[in-house]
Chains A and B, each alone.
Chain A
């Protein structure tokens, strides 16, 4: 028996998910631009400023990958909260990469905006 055909809504949701996943690395790096943060602070910034609700169990594996790529650094700091926290910060390579990624993203988004303008009402 053939699997049920995905509905247009399912297809759209899948496309949206892929789009967000593509930008997640940039978004996580961008949260660190102003300074070092620990995991939960990053999640809260992503949600508050970019509307991205990242599953909590996946942020640390993603950060460990970024660390292995040399884009972020991490250090344990004894906190006033009573337990140590692992703070992440951008390395020099990470700062350069986030600039390049942001430039690519902006250029891509501007191009797409021009293409979409006729039917998004921007030309009226």
Chain B
């Protein structure tokens, strides 16, 4: 009976950890939970009582903190192994639901990559449809700075300002913005992993070694 109660307590804790393991695959979630289960069972040894399990769970930390440090470390480790723009974007997507910072980083990355792709598309499209690709100043009595950039069908009224220069400018802006967004993603994923390690419960403490 005591043993069943202890196992039920452990299962409840693992269920709570599982709720916070957002962004991990099913296989990774299974791995994390089984490792925590084995750890607690090792710690209590043959004293499988609710009190012993409670002490072991307290030493592990709150389900939320344990889950968060697992998610950020694993996602950051996968990203370090594949730091292509897609690999970094995948890491950012996986961390998006973990915290407010994760969501903000995801939105900024989405906007950055979207704009970069837009500039590159404009530059690539210009040779195939020169009349409809460009930067126009469109006359508007209410707005003296009314500019339109991109692939426009139909062609807007007004003066096209860049001509063929839109190709090198679009390429340069697209590549620069793509690089900056990639750099931003790498830095933020590393910062989030570091923040998980920096929680007070995650600091190693000095104790006197046994003699």
A contact set with B: CB distance below 8 Å: 16-17, 20-21, 24, 38-40, 47-58, 60-62, 64-65, 67-69, 76, 81-86
Contact = CB atoms under 8 A, between A and B. Distances in A.
Given A21-B197, A57-B201, A64 B77 contact: yes
A48 B69 CA distance: 25
B123 interface: no
Interface string B73-89: 11011101100000000
A54 B204 contact: yes
B42 interface: yes
B141 to A, nearest CB: 51
A20 B210 CA distance: 18
Nearest to B71: A61
A55 B38 contact: no
Given A16-B206, A58-B69, 13 more contacts: A21-B197, A40-B39, A40-B42, A53-B205, A55-B59, A55-B202, A56-B61, A58-B201, A60-B70, A64-B70, A67-B77, A68-B78, A81-B42
Nearest to B78: A68
B55 to A, nearest CB: 11
Interface residues of B, number: 38
Contacts of B39: 39-40, 56, 60
A116 to B, nearest CB: 18
B150 to A, nearest CB: 41
Contacts of A24: 204
B38 A84 contact: yes
A61 B44 CA distance: 21
A83 B202 contact: no
A101 to B, nearest CB: 16
Contact of B69 (A49, A52, A57, A67): A57
Contacts of B210: 47-49
Interface stretch (B29-37, B125-133, B151-159, B174-182): B29-37
A81 B208 contact: no
A53 B61 CA distance: 14
Given A61-B70, A61-B74, A52 B38 contact: no
Contacts of B61: 55-57
A38 B45 CA distance: 14
A64 B73 contact: yes
B60 interface: yes
Contacts of A81: 41-42, 45
Nearest to A41: B42
A86 B42 CA distance: 11
Given A57-B60, A57-B65, A65-B76, A39 B209 contact: no
A61 B73 contact: yes
B26 interface: no
A84 B31 CA distance: 12
